[in-house]
Amino acid sequence: MRTVARGAAVWGVECPRRPSRTAGVSMAGFRVRELETLRIVPYPAVTLLLEFGTGSPVLDCAPGRQQRGSFAAGPGLGSGGAVRARGENVECVQVRLSPVIARAILGTSPADLDGAVVSLDDLWGREAARIRERLGAASSWQDRFELTDALLARRHEAGPPVDPEMAWAWRRIVGTRGLARVDGLAAEVGWSRKRLWSRFRSQLGLPPKRAVKLVRFDHAAHRLVAGEDAARVAADTGYADQSHLHRDVKAFTGATPATVGDELFLAVDDIAWPSRRTTAMPSAPPGSVPGGALDRAPAGEG
């Protein structure tokens, strides 16, 4: 386990040695003795947090609203900087699910989460308690990753897939790092704009325009954390100008481009998910893409 210290915060971070057997799944393990108030930064994936330690993470989601223990949350959790995490003796496996596979694994559409944080007990019932017990009893992090991966693979195989047009549209957005023209997606799949909007939202959990903004923001935010100049980042990632980048970063995080690089979890993110990359997507619409070509996108981007 790698130890990451930043100020008074000390995190233990573990990564799986092997990729998931299910395309679109990525995970990391965390051990934090004292989790001080941590701003959650939005990410273009559905988030599962499977906790098993002696402590329990607490999410402060809004004034008067809290979520304790294991949870699921839709894409963009933490928009506006409104969600904070805290806790003591936290041990957990955090999973990122591509929206393309999230419906099958969750047992419900990400749209049903509607930007909220939902207890995993409410979604999975007794299965959530069983995986917590098994994770706590496991002798190593790699065993925990294997247990989690087996559960996710089984649920994915049993669940309903999204429309291939929706999978293609999502991967097109991710493959272009949020630079795909939303209006053009409908034409490329041969659908009306209204139909694309409706199916995309209902199956993947957010409207296409929001998906584009979130993917573009995520790419820009990680470049800012790496210390790149905001003006250069804005120019390279498709923003009209630096002010446009400032507005998006502020809207998604509550921070500014100058301060977002100090967000702890963005720094830990590149350690926990070191294989962050974007696979170029083919320009052909569904039906002309070779079988399996779109399933090789990295986890969280699948």
CATH number at residue 71: 2.60.120.10
Instruction: Specify whether the CB–CB gap between 223 and 261 falls below 8 A.
Output: no
Q: 12: buried, middle or exposed (CB in 10 Å: 19+, 13-18, 0-12)?
A: middle
What confidence tier does 262 reach under pLDDT thresholds 50, 70, 90?
A: confident
This prediction's pTM: 0.88
Three-state DSSP class for residue 49: strand
Range of the domain at 171: 164-296
Residue 187 belongs to a domain: yes
8/38 same-domain check = yes
Instruction: Specify whether the CB–CB gap between 18 and 146 falls below 8 A.
Output: no
144/57 same-domain check = yes
Provide the β-strand partners of residue 94.
Answer: 28, 49
Phi, psi of 18 (to 5 degrees): -125, 150
Residue 168 belongs to a domain: yes
Instruction: Specify whether the CB–CB gap between 70 and 121 falls below 8 A.
Output: yes
Which of 158, 160, 88 is CA-nearest to residue 127? 158
278/256 same-domain check = yes
Encoded tokens for 43: 């990410």
25-39, 112-126, 268-282: least confident range: 268-282
What confidence tier does 18 reach under pLDDT thresholds 50, 70, 90?
A: very high
Residue that terminates a domain, selected from 158, 193, 217: 158
Residue 174 belongs to a domain: yes
